[in-house]
Amino acid sequence: MFYMYFFDFDSFWSELLWIMKFNILLSLFFTIFAIGFFIAIIWIRIYKNLRNEKKKEQHELLIEFLNSFLFDEDFEKEKEIRKFKEEHLRSSLEIKVTIKEILHFHENLKGESARELEALFSKLGLVEYILLDLKRGSWYTTARAINALSELCIVVPDHQIEIYLNDPRNEVRQQSQLYSLKLANENPLQFLNKTVRPLTTWQQIYIENALKNFYKGPPPDFSQWLDHELLSVVEFSIRMIARYNQFEHIQKLLPFIKHQSDIIRWEAINSLSSLEYTELLELIIPDFKKNSRLIKLEILEAVNKLGSHEELKRIGDQINTTDWELRIKYLNIEQGFLPDKKERIYSQFMLEKQFGI
Amino acid sequence: MKKILVIEDNPMVIKSLEFKLTKDGHDVIIANDGREAMKLLIENEYDLILTDLMLPFVTGNELISYIKKNTPNTPIIVLSTSTQENIIMDAFNMGVDDFITKPFSPNELSLRVKRLLSKS
């Protein structure tokens, strides 16, 4: 029977119940799907292994090439560069590994070797590849390309980087800011004039760090950004005035202790106190009660730094007895002013706390 | 040929140091971590030791203490990313002969190695 059906598929199929047909088709579908899935996994694995193998090969080749290029006096540079470019920079993977490896070397070396690596990068034609990367569209490719340009100090026309200063992605903005800062001749923070997106706290730290580590020229006059339309830029400038001890701008900072934004007021008090502007206390103590807790705590800190016990006592009456955060801060500072009465202050504090005064 | 032990865990730095120092005519022995370095230090003596401070298993400071206790005349150069004054001071107080910060200039390092080897 089966033998007959085997040769006569049409009659076999037409005589089957619909549920049987459905089951057979479903089984076939899943079998093909499972085989396809299995082949895909194997293929991806093989592809990845081959890619890793190629990466490893290129990596080893580069270590040999770069070390010879940098340290071997008998190495025929021009000829070898040409040969390397023709034979080992053909695929996108080879180019990517080469860029990564040159950056890695550059990160660890300085002096003449670093300069030679920068020259090699151009000679291998990698700058053109990086410039193409800039335009590829994905944010991580752009950020990586700008990072490579700034790491290797490769100067490109301003407009090619400026467009990324206000990119929607933080990472791209950060890299373009670093590029502008590292390659600036005069004003390293000139990019702030073109910035329309707020600086995140992390970006502010990053800029400060880059300014300290990469910029070798004279520090910029930070007061030029005190009237910037972005509060985050104003906040950053106030902080930098204190960090770079620009005492000449103290008068310009004074209006900010009355600013409507708590963050700006806090930064101004903190910076003026860092600059040891003792007249600050006369300006902030009378308004103590009107401020938020954040500012009140900073005022107490300023009194601790610049003031005396008498000035602290002027604040004491203005602190709500149940505001424990402020009370504790106040009593801690008082302990510092009156070390001989430390124990009495502490027992008074415990007593107050016990009775919830 | 002077024997130099390089204790470093960054493969790129290892290769560069090995290449440069071999070119300068030295016999370079590599240890990739503190434990391997300790084993090599127990088995052999070296004319100069070039070490990182942040190493896996045994730290650079522990290695320096060991070297100074057992072979006090072996010159030590520290090659580290650290630029903190207290770390540099600590290293000199432990008796290291030179401190080079990363990123480093291979030519400068080569000269410092030569100077220390000629002294010793």
- pLDDT per residue as tens digits for the range B97-106: 999 999 999 9
Contacts of A256 (CB under 8 A, 6+ apart): A226, A234, A238, A264, A265, A267, A268
CB-based contacts of A236: which residues, under 8 Å, 6+ apart? A199, A204, A207, A208, A225
Range of lowest pLDDT (A12-26, A207-221, A342-356): A342-356
Nearest-CB residue to B104 (from A70, A101, A110)? A110
Which of chain B's residues have a Cβ under 8 Å away from the Cβ of A109? 16, 103-106
pLDDT exceeds 60 at position A357: no
Number of compact structural domains in chain B: 1
Q: Which residues in A100-116 are b (16+ Cβ under 10 Å) and which e?
A: bbbbbbbebbbeebbeb
Say yes or no for a CB contact (<8 Å) between A110 and B103: yes
B16/A107 touch (CB, cutoff 8 Å), yes or no? no
Q: Does A213 touch chain B (CB under 8 A)?
A: no
Q: Which residue has the higher pLDDT, A342 or A311?
A: A311
Structure confidence at residue A331 (pLDDT): 87
Whether B103 and A107 lie within 8 Å, measured CB to CB? yes
Measured in angstroms, the CA of B110 and the nearest CA of chain A are apart by 11
Q: Cβ of A112 under 8 Å from any chain B Cβ?
A: yes
Which CATH number do you get for residue B81? 3.40.50.2300
Domain coverage including residue B26: 3-119
Which of A101, A104, A111 has the CB atom closest to B108's CB atom?
A111
Distance CA B91, CA B77 (A): 10
Average pLDDT over residues A315-325: 82
Closest B-chain CA to A59 = B12
Q: Which residue has the higher pLDDT, A234 or A340?
A: A234
Touching check for A70 and chain B: CB below 8 Å?
Answer: yes
Strand partners, B104: A109
CB distance from A74 to chain B under 8 Å? no
pTM above 0.80, yes or no: no
Min Cα–Cα distance to chain B from A128, Å: 26
CA-nearest of A267, A228, A224 to A249 is A224
**Could you say which residues of chain B have pLDDT below 70?**
none
Q: Do A111 and B19 touch (CB under 8 A)?
A: no
Q: What is the pLDDT of residues A117-152, one digit of tens each?
A: 999 999 999 999 999 988 887 899 999 999 999 999
ipTM of this complex prediction, to 2 decimal places: 0.85
Report the distance separating Cα A101 and Cα A103, nearest Å. 5
**B15 interface with A at CB cutoff 8 Å:** yes
Q: Is B13 on the interface with A (CB under 8 A)?
A: yes
By C-alpha distance, the chain A residue nearest B13 is: A108
Q: Flag if A113 and B107 touch (Cβ within 8 Å).
A: yes
Nearest to B104 among A71, A104, A109 (CB): A109
Which amino acid, one-letter code, is at A299? Answer: I
Count of alpha carbons within 13 angstroms of residue B52, beta-carbon side: 23
What does the DSSP 8-state code read for residue A230?
-
